[in-house]
């Protein structure tokens, strides 16, 4: 009799109720692969975009969402060494071929064959998943599974944005948009780790208070304050050195105007819209760098996990739900109710 596992799957794109509980065959690891027994998987806005659908998503149905996985190894395939059954782990969510020039240079997230678990391949909304052994990353032992699953995709994304793209240095003023988001929570802490003065934004006074507890020096409530004017006031009219942006729409256009001459706007998303109206004069006359960013390298994740294991960075969990309530988690994320990560436990 074939062993099965519980999973939340999509049979078609749609609203949150498109997520359905199903019994699927328990996958077996092939050569060079391991099976991870999933103890926690955290939600990302990526899950919502994939669930809703679009021309970029060509999925094999039923499809499982979920990029951020923490659990234990419970089976190994042929040729896998050094990964024992029972070992706690987190899963690096980016899949790359490992042989191209980008991969060999340590930039695996620039691989032309790059895929992300839960986006364009099967993800972690299940009791188990099979992944390449090279995607197993060390477990930060001081964390429970929910917090470990909250320390992956947004953190490696924020690390690349803050450290490599924005090139944040001690004394810089850095604006982090969306204080309560996964990337926002991570970027605030990483920018502080690098010695920056951090200004962060939210439409919620409660979220801004929590952002201050994470280290934010100044906060802007964009529902009651003019974001651009406030940044200029806080920087003696100079503008921010760097802005970490994942909102898009008019917020992106405002960010271009709020950064200093020669400053950097780094973007990794567009939850509020993909087509901002930009006056290009603000970019070329003021020599503003606009930098796109997606994910981070495996080395970036290892750097993040090292700091998290040492207690210098701290993942934030908003709530933990059973896997069967994945739709409730999606609705809460869409309603911007969360500060930090929403986590599912199989």
Q: Would you say the CATH fold of 155-292 matches that of 4-151+315-345?
A: no
pLDDT value for 114: 96
Q: What's the confidence (pLDDT) of residue 270?
A: 81
Q: How many CB atoms lie within 10 A of CB 204?
A: 17
Torsion angle defined by CA atoms of residues 253, 339, 9 and 95, in that order, rounded to the nearest 10 degrees: 70
What's the CATH fold of domain 4-151+315-345? Quinone Oxidoreductase; Chain A, domain 1 (3.90.180)
Q: What is the pLDDT of residue 247?
A: 85
> What's the confidence (pLDDT) of residue 273?
75
Look at domain 155-292 and name its CATH class.
Answer: alpha beta
User: What are the residue boundaries of the structural domains of the chain, listed by start?
Assistant: 4-151+315-345, 155-292
Cβ partners under 8 Å of residue 34, min gap 6: 73, 75, 76, 77, 80, 83, 130, 131, 132, 133, 136
DSSP letter, residue 272: T
pTM (2 d.p.): 0.95
- Rounded Cα distance between 14 and 31, Å, is 36
Identify each DSSP E strand in the chain by its residue range. Answer: 4-10, 19-25, 33-42, 68-76, 88-91, 94-95, 115-116, 128-132, 136-137, 173-176, 197-202, 218-221, 240-245, 259-267, 289-292, 317-322, 341-345
pLDDT at 1: 59
pLDDT 10s digit of each residue in the chain, 346 long?
579 999 999 999 999 999 999 999 999 999 999 999 999 999 999 999 999 998 888 899 999 999 999 999 999 999 999 999 999 999 999 999 999 999 999 999 999 999 999 999 999 999 999 999 999 999 999 999 999 999 999 999 999 999 999 999 999 999 999 999 999 999 999 999 999 999 999 999 999 999 999 999 999 999 999 999 999 999 999 999 999 998 888 888 889 999 999 999 999 988 777 888 888 988 999 999 999 999 999 999 999 999 999 999 999 999 999 999 999 999 999 999 999 999 999 9
């Amino acid at each position: 009799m074939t062993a099965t596992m519980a999973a939340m799957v999509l049979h078609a794109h749609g609203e949150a109720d498109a997520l359905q509980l199903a019994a699927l065959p328990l996958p077996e690891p092939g050569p060079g692969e391991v099976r991870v027994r999933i103890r926690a998987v955290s939600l990302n806005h990526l899950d919502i975009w994939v669930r809703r659908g679009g021309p970029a998503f060509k999925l094999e149905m039923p499809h499982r969402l979920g990029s951020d996985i923490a659990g234990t190894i419970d089976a190994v395939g042929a040729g896998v060494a050094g990964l024992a059954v029972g070992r706690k782990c987190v899963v690096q969510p980016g899949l790359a071929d490992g042989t191209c020039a980008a991969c060999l240079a340590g930039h695996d997230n620039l691989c032309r064959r790059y895929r992300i678990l839960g986006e364009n391949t099967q993800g972690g909304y299940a009791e188990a998943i099979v992944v390449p052994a090279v995607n197993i990353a060390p477990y930060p032992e001081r964390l429970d599974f929910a917090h470990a699953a909250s320390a992956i995709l947004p953190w490696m994304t924020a690390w690349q944005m803050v450290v490599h793209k924005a090139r944040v240095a001690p004394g810089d003023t850095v604006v982090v948009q969306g204080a309560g988001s996964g990337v926002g929570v991570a970027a605030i802490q990483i920018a502080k780790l690098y010695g920056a003065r951090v200004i962060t934004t939210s439409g919620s006074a409660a979220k801004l208070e929590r952002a201050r507890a994470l280290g934010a020096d100044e906060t802007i409530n964009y529902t009651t304050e003019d974001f651009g004017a406030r940044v200029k006031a806080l920087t003696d009219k100079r503008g921010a050195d760097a802005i970490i942006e994942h909102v898009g729409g008019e917020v992106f256009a405002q960010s271009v105007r709020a950064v200093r001459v020669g400053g950097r706007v780094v973007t990794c998303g567009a939850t509020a819209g993909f087509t901002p109206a930009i006056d290009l004069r603000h970019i070329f006359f003021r020599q503003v760098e606009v930098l796109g960013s997606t994910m981070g390298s495996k080395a970036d994740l290892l750097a993040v996990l090292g700091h998290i294991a040492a207690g210098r960075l701290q993942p934030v969990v908003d709530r933990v739900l059973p896997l069967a309530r994945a739709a409730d988690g999606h609705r809460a994320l869409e309603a911007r109710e969360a500060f930090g990560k929403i986590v599912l436990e199989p």
